[in-house]
Amino acid sequence: MKILVIRFSSAGDILLTSLFLRALRRRFPQAQIDFLTKEQFEELVQHSPHINHSIVLPSSSNFADLITLRGELRKTNYDIIFDLHNSLRSRIVRFRLGEQRFVFRKPTFRKWLLVRFKVNLLRPITPIPERYLDVGKSYSLENDGKGLDFFPGKGDFSLPLDLPQPLIALAPGARHFTKRWPAEKYAQLGGTLLEERGGTLLLLGGADEVEIGKDVEAAIGNGKNVLNLVGTTTLSEVAQVVERCSILIANDSLLSHIAAAVGTPVITIFGSTVEEFGFAPYGEAVTILQQSDLDCRPCTTVGRSECPRKHFHCMNLIRVDDITDAIAGKLD
């Protein structure tokens, strides 16, 4: 039996496939299971014991590259294709590939109704990892209740062993502005946590979030136990850092999913998007903070570069005290 699973992006969404991959391996312990993704996200799956091979699509691929890739994949003679992305690219790749093809059905229209008219047909909420399992319902894929997992590779970076405890991580970045709790509030939170709990504050994030990290670090002030790692670690390295932390406070971003996957308690702050879309961090250690009573939420399915109403209530109304109260429930 040869099986191909397709999910090209994004990083957090690929982590959300780990429940599906584990269930698939449990159902087909002897099968060859391969995972196709974009080159920049291979690190998220390449060390997973649930797959045999990771196959990559170059980041700058074009139509000809997709046709070439499909030709190469056809040589493997896959029996089953699970397309968990269902995009134009994945449709091109899976065309006439495999004996059986199963495709993730996106609730695009229902999401549009919720954003445009606030008509909510997405309740009860079914998280994306569980929706992925539905793609394999013909093979009775089962939820083992163990949440997500991530198997990072070995990196060159490691945290010093003598850092003052507890280790509390903040991830103030996110791809879109309306998914970011303000940097000044992260700084206030960081200062409060250091004053009340001591320990070490770790700032985490990707290479495109370096300026946000610097702003938060500068606002907290010199002489504090702050270690700014924003933009300095690989995905595997940051996963190992998060695993050592007592808690992570983050926006709705990749790092929230990493924390959930490695079992670190995480408080995730939601702004312009909502849990109903299904892409929230998944697991028992996850706490979601959001302004649920705003009539303007959600205003987008993915995020915006600015608040369309200019007030940004979805983030500005979330107080530092709301976060510290939630942390108390996790650490005390």
Task: Tell whether 180 and 111 lie within a shared domain.
Answer: no
Closest Cα to residue 201, out of 239, 168, 155? 168
Task: Tell whether 227 and 312 lie within a shared domain.
Answer: yes
Burial class (CB in 10 A: 0-12, 13-18, 19+), 136: buried
Task: Tell whether 306 and 209 lie within a shared domain.
Answer: yes
Which of 100, 120, 139 lies at the terminal end of a domain, its last residue?
A: 139
Q: Which two tokens stand for residue 313?
A: 């209530």
Residue 243 lies in a domain: yes
> What 3-state DSSP class applies to 153?
coil
For residue 125, the one-letter residue type is: I
Task: Tell whether 174 and 118 lie within a shared domain.
Answer: no
Distance, in Å, from the CA atom of 162 to the CA atom of 165, rounded to the nearest integer, reads: 9
Q: Identify the band that residue 109 occupies on the pLDDT scale cut at 50, 70 and 90.
A: very high
Task: Tell whether 135 and 171 lie within a shared domain.
Answer: no
Question: Which pLDDT does position 14 carry in this prediction?
Answer: 98
Task: Tell whether 229 and 310 lie within a shared domain.
Answer: yes
Q: Tokens 């998220």, residue?
A: 44
Task: Tell whether 249 and 298 lie within a shared domain.
Answer: yes
Distance, in Å, from the CA atom of 125 to the CA atom of 35, rounded to the nearest integer, reads: 27
Q: Identify the band that residue 118 occupies on the pLDDT scale cut at 50, 70 and 90.
A: very high
With a CB cutoff of 8 Å and minimum separation 6, the contacts of 144 are 22, 23, 26
Range of 286's domain?
Answer: 167-331
Total domains, the chain: 2
Mean pLDDT of the chain: 96
Of all residues in the chain, the percent with pLDDT exceeding 90 is 94
Question: Which pLDDT does position 157 carry in this prediction?
Answer: 82
Distance, in Å, from the CA atom of 48 to the CA atom of 147, rounded to the nearest integer, reads: 15
- Across the range 179-190, mean pLDDT stands at 98
Residue 286 lies in a domain: yes
Q: Which two tokens stand for residue 272?
A: 């312009």
Task: Tell whether 98 and 221 lie within a shared domain.
Answer: no
Q: For the range 90-93, what are the long-range contacts, defined as Cβ-Cβ under 8 Å and sequence gap of 24 or more? A: 90/6, 90/8, 92/63, 92/66, 92/67, 93/6, 93/36, 93/66, 93/69
Task: Tell whether 252 and 316 lie within a shared domain.
Answer: yes
- Extract the runs of DSSP E, i.e. beta strands, from 29-127: 32-38, 53-57, 80-83, 100-103
Question: Which pLDDT does position 38 carry in this prediction?
Answer: 97
Burial class (CB in 10 A: 0-12, 13-18, 19+), 214: middle
Task: Tell whether 111 and 182 lie within a shared domain.
Answer: no
* Helix H or strand E encompassing 4: strand 2-6
- Across the range 26-43, mean pLDDT stands at 98
* For residue 276, pLDDT beyond 90: yes
Q: Residue 98: which CATH number?
A: 3.40.50.2000
> What 3-state DSSP class applies to 251?
strand
Q: Which two tokens stand for residue 298?
A: 């959600």
Task: Tell whether 311 and 184 lie within a shared domain.
Answer: yes
* For residue 285, pLDDT beyond 80: yes
- Across the range 242-246, mean pLDDT stands at 97
Residue 148 lies in a domain: no
**Does 329 or 25 have the greater pLDDT score?**
25
Which of 119, 139, 159 lies at the terminal end of a domain, its last residue?
A: 139
Residue 146 lies in a domain: no
Question: Which pLDDT does position 59 carry in this prediction?
Answer: 87
Question: Which pLDDT does position 80 carry in this prediction?
Answer: 98
pLDDT digits (tens, 9 = 90+) for 154-175: 877 888 889 999 999 999 999 9
Residue 156 lies in a domain: no
Q: Identify the band that residue 222 occupies on the pLDDT scale cut at 50, 70 and 90.
A: confident
Residue 155 lies in a domain: no
How does strand 286-289 pair with strand 266-269? parallel
Task: Tell whether 39 and 131 lie within a shared domain.
Answer: yes
Q: For the range 125-131, what are the long-range contacts, defined as Cβ-Cβ under 8 Å and sequence gap of 24 or more? A: 125/275, 125/276, 125/278, 126/278, 127/16, 127/278, 127/280, 127/282, 128/13, 128/16, 128/278, 128/279, 128/282, 129/16, 129/17, 129/18, 129/19, 129/20, 129/282, 130/19, 131/104, 131/278
Q: For the range 104-112, what are the long-range contacts, defined as Cβ-Cβ under 8 Å and sequence gap of 24 or more? A: 104/131, 104/132, 104/135, 107/278, 111/277, 111/301, 112/301
Residue 161 lies in a domain: no
Of all residues in the chain, the percent with pLDDT exceeding 70 is 100
Q: Identify the band that residue 257 occupies on the pLDDT scale cut at 50, 70 and 90.
A: very high
Residue 150 lies in a domain: no
